[in-house]
């Protein structure tokens, strides 16, 4: 009834010849029409519990500041000029009881979902948190661009499964890119189309891959502009301000509890609420009561409750990172402020899904040391759990936390092995040699430069051996070898992949320094980084002395050896089974529903970004549709929408900033299209994400 009050005010003005009763009835009917036609977003049922349960900074002091003794600060989102939708996720919006088509057709939709207009019941705020960034305590960080809008009650008629994953019965909604907050530091609180599209698409594909994640309901772009130096190259350009709607039970994170940290021994920084231990207790009570109600009910003793809570966070984190590793996902910035207290994938920045398998894969071009590389993720998450435990003390006794953390690697390995067995179709038995089989598979993929996603997807096509197959078995092994060779890298691709990532002169200097001045060397580099560079040099030397034909023969031998071992292991799956055909069919079904056909490769996101920057949002929407069914072939959705249109493809209007942008980067329409489920095209390795 948002329009009722001003309309009733008009009824007090009695016009000549018009009765008060007639006026009142007329107004009532008008208002009913407005109620029926008003924005669906105005009907959201907000219940902003966290702002009542945790300390709130109500200061309206403008600008960046230290916020002491509070977990949230009230803020005013800054409106955008001419906001409009790029895309919406129907499934994510359904969590809020919203119909995606209605939201897209709502004239107020882009304003409400960009923060340009505040919905009834919304209380915009920014969350205060700290974090360890690249191993160093950074002090106060907080929501520098994200803005809490409120918590929406789960609508009537919801799927009961939602409450299993979200026992609070509310969804917190945020807009990311809505302007300045007290935590914006040196930034402007805005996000652009590039980063917004990447976050929107990846939030959703992770959900459809079955990996715990925050969700994304929409992207809005605008005519508001900010200046960004994309490659930090001294060539800034204008980009459109854009906003993502994010949805989760809560966006509280490990760093939320670091606001109470005493002065750090290395950086000297402290949390803004250092010494306010009572707030830590309030925050723990809130998180456990709202999101871990079974623990709250089952542990009347406070210490035991807190230990059980921490152990559950540890378990969820171990399970999450195991799922990442099994789809080749690299987060890129696993700081403590990017780790969800619920075990969700949180904050999609310079992430990447691995193409060619490389355990040292680094998706963030700013991560020079490889701290957050693919193979480092399990250990980094453990390190972050140690920092969380420190932040929870004394509410969490350190000795009890240490005992829980000691379980982490065993739990992680168990989750990882369970997932990998499904990926290989090893469902009936768990054999000790399975770990060796998996390790040898990954080593063969690494040696041959095999595509991670497509190699696993192809494994279901390798048949189980049958009794007395003889020469037919050799033919099947050759056929399987040829199948996997299609996913391997060429000689030139492997040479490019093994080039040094640092200047040879710098490497020579560091090698000399490691011998002559080890203390100084430890300050500016580390032995692991140098070892990776030397390994690259060694591989590159071998590759320069090899022909393409010799390489293919070597790759075929490696794959033939592994496939032979794999088929022997598959034979064990059939032992004692009365219906062999049913076992084989189940194996293929499980493998094809575990190994995705398509993932959000960087080049797929880049094509969608470039089309959107040209004013064409259809590729973002198409990619989302493809990613909603990552395990299935969808006829008619094999290729980008612009395939075959060429340079003459219709483009949206571009202003001066966009013209400059297109001069700096070739557009997607100028490239030969490849299917979404193919290996990446040759130009994909040029994409740089920071």
The whole-angstrom separation of Cα 342 and Cα 320 is: 10
DSSP state of 686: G
User: Is 337 annotated as catalytic?
Assistant: yes
Give the count of beta carbons closer than 10 Å to the beta carbon of residue 71: 25
Backbone phi, psi, residue 577, to 5°? -95, 130
| Residues 72/75/77/78 CA torsion (nearest 10 deg) | -140
The whole-angstrom separation of Cα 473 and Cα 464 is: 10
Which burial class, exposed, middle or buried, applies to 422 when counting CB atoms under 10 A from its CB (0-12, 13-18, 19+)?
middle
The whole-angstrom separation of Cα 358 and Cα 374 is: 8
The whole-angstrom separation of Cα 583 and Cα 632 is: 21
Q: Please, are residues 133 and 337 in contact by the beta-carbon 8 Å criterion?
A: yes
Cβ within 8 Å of residue 680, ≥6 positions away: 355, 601, 602, 603, 674
Number of residues assigned to the chain: 690
Question: What are the respective helix, strand and coil percentages of the chain, to the nearest 5?
Answer: 50, 10, 40
DSSP state of 218: E
Q: Please, are residues 460 and 587 in contact by the beta-carbon 8 Å criterion?
A: yes
Catalytic residue among 57, 106, 143, 337: 337
R_g (Cα) of the chain, nearest Å: 28
Q: Which long-range contacts (CB under 8 A, 24 or more apart) does 107-112 make?
A: 107/39, 108/39, 108/41, 108/42, 109/39, 109/41, 109/85, 109/218, 110/83, 110/84, 110/85, 110/220, 111/79, 111/83, 112/39, 112/41, 112/42
The whole-angstrom separation of Cα 659 and Cα 557 is: 51
Q: Please, are residues 399 and 306 in contact by the beta-carbon 8 Å criterion?
A: no
Task: Report the relative pairing of strands 72-74 and 56-57 from DSSP bridges.
Answer: parallel
Largest CA distance in the chain: 104
464 SS3 class: coil
Task: Report the relative pairing of strands 329-330 and 146-153 from DSSP bridges.
Answer: unpaired
Which burial class, exposed, middle or buried, applies to 588 when counting CB atoms under 10 A from its CB (0-12, 13-18, 19+)?
middle
Residues involved in catalysis: 337
């Amino acid at each position: 009834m948002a329009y009722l009050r001003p309309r009733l005010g008009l009824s007090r003005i009695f016009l000549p010849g018009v009765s008060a009763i007639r006026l009142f009835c007329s107004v009532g009917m008008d208002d009913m029409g407005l109620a029926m036609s008003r924005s669906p977003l105005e009907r959201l049922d907000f219940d902003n519990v966290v702002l009542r349960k945790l300390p709130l900074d109500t200061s309206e002091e403008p600008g960046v500041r230290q916020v002491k003794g509070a977990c949230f600060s009230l803020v005013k989102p800054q409106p955008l000029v001419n906001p409009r939708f790029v895309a919406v996720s129907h499934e994510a919006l359904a969590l809020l009881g919203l119909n995606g088509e209605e939201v897209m057709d709502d004239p107020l939709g882009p304003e409400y979902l960009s923060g340009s207009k505040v919905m009834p019941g919304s209380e915009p705020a920014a969350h205060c948190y700290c974090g360890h960034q690249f191993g160093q305590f950074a002090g106060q960080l907080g929501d520098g661009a994200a803005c809490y809008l409120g918590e929406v009650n789960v609508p009537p008629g919801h799927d009961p499964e939602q409450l299993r994953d979200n026992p609070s019965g509310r969804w917190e909604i945020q807009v990311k890119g809505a302007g300045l907050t007290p935590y914006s530091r040196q930034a402007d609180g805005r996000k652009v189309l590039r980063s917004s599209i990447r976050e929107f698409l990846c939030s959703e594909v992770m959900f459809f891959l079955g990996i715990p994640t925050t969700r994304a309901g929409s992207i809005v772009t605008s005519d508001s502009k900010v200046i960004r130096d994309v490659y930090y190259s001294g060539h800034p350009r204008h980009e459109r301000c854009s906003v993502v709607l994010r949805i989760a039970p809560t966006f509280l994170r490990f760093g939320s509890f670091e606001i109470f940290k005493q002065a750090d021994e290395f950086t000297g920084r402290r949390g803004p609420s250092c010494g306010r231990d009572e707030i830590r207790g309030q925050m723990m009570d809130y998180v456990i009561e709202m999101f871990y109600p079974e623990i709250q009910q089952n542990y009347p003793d406070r210490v035991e409750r807190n230990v059980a809570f921490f152990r559950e966070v540890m378990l969820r984190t171990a399970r999450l990172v195991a799922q990442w590793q099994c789809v080749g996902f690299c987060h890129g910035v696993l700081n403590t402020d990017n780790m969800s207290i619920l075990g969700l994938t949180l904050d999609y920045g310079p992430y990447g899904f691995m193409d060619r398998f490389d355990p040292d894969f680094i998706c963030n071009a700013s991560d020079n040391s490889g701290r957050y590389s693919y193979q480092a993720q399990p250990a980094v998450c453990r390190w972050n759990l140690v920092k969380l435990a420190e932040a929870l003390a004394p509410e969490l006794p350190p000795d009890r936390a240490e005992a829980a953390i000691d379980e982490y690697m065993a739990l992680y390995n168990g989750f990882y092995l369970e997932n990998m067995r499904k990926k290989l179709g090893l469902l009936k038995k768990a054999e000790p040699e399975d770990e060796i089989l998996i390790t040898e598979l990954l080593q063969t993929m690494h040696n041959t430069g095999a595509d991670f996603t497509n190699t696993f997807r192809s494994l279901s096509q390798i048949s189980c051996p049958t009794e007395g197959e003889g020469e037919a078995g050799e033919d099947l092994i050759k056929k399987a070898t040829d199948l996997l060779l299609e996913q391997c890298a060429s000689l030139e691709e492997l040479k490019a992949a093994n080039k040094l990532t640092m200047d040879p002169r710098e490497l020579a200097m560091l090698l000399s320094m490691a011998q002559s001045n080890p203390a100084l060397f430890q300050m500016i580099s580390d032995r692991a980084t140098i070892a990776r560079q030397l390994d690259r040099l060694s591989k590159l030397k071998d590759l320069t002395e090899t022909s393409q034909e010799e390489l293919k023969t070597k790759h075929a031998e490696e794959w033939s050896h592994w496939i032979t071992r794999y088929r022997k292991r598959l034979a064990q799956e059939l032992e004692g089974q009365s219906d062999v055909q049913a076992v084989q069919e189940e194996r293929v079904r499980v493998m094809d529903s575990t190994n995705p056909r398509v993932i959000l490769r960087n080049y797929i996101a880049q094509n969608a970004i470039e089309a959107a920057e040209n004013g064409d949002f259809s590729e973002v929407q198409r990619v989302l549709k493809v990613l909603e069914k990552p395990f299935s072939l969808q006829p008619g959705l094999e290729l980008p929408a612009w395939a075959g249109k060429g340079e003459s493809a219709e483009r949206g209007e571009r202003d001066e900033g966009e013209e400059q942008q297109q001069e700096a980067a070739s557009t997607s329409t100028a490239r030969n299209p490849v299917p979404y489920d193919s290996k990446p095209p040759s130009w994909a390795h040029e994409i740089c994400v920071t």
